[in-house]
């Protein structure tokens, strides 16, 4: 069964303090790994899709990377508006196109 584990559960940073969020996954065959941002009470907002080990994607202060067993979401010089829960999900290469989500990392950026 597919499994996704995110760490840490929660992270507090000062504005401008860079860090990384981790997503470890177990899947029989990976079609894609997805990162989403979720604000309280809102729907997940799509950020990135990564398809193969070594791939990297960037958007503003965020950069996502992928290895065969984990993905990292690097946040550089974060701002308070980057505060949110970041969700990682995997999609199998065979069968259903469902997403299997991790529990998320709750990120707080203090001004």
Partner 1 sequence: DSGVTQTPKHLITATGQRVTLRCSPRSGDLSVYWYQQSLDQGLQFLIQYYNGEERAKGNILERFSAQQFPDLHSELNLSSLELGDSALYFCASSQTSQTPPRNEQFFGPGTRLTVL
Q: Which residues bind partner 1 (CB under 8 A)?
A: 31-32, 34, 36, 41-46, 49, 87, 89, 91, 95-104
| 30 vs 78 by CB, closer to partner 1 | 30
Task: State in angstroms the smallest separation of the CB of 60 from partner 1.
Answer: 18
- Please identify, using beta-carbon distances, which residue of 27 and 100 lies nearer to partner 1: 100
**Nearest CB to partner 1, comparing residues 2 and 76:** 2
Q: Give the integer Cα–Cα distance in Å for 48 and 33.
A: 8
- Work out how close the CB of 75 gets to partner 1 at its nearest, in angstroms, rounded to a whole number: 20
Whether the upstream peptide bond of residue 65 has omega within 30° of 0, thus cis, is: no
Alpha-carbon distance of 29 to 111, in angstroms, equals 41
Query: In a 3-state reduction of DSSP, which class is residue 38?
Result: strand
CA separation for the pair 19, 30 (Å, rounded): 26
In angstroms, the first-to-last Cα distance of the chain is 41
CB of 18 to partner 1, least distance (A): 26
For partner 1, the closer of residues 65 and 91 by Cβ is 91
């Amino acid at each position: 069964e597919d499994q996704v584990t995110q760490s840490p559960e929660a992270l507090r940073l000062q504005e401008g303090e860079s860090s990384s969020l981790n997503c470890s996954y177990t899947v029989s065959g990976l079609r894609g790994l997805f990162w989403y941002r979720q604000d309280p009470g809102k729907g997940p907002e799509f950020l990135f899709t990564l398809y193969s080990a070594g791939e990297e994607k960037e958007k503003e202060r965020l950069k996502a990377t992928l290895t065969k067993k984990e993905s990292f979401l690097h946040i550089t010089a974060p701002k308070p508006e980057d505060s949110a829960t970041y969700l990682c999900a995997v999609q199998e290469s065979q069968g259903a196109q469902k997403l299997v989500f991790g529990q998320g990392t709750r990120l707080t950026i203090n001004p």
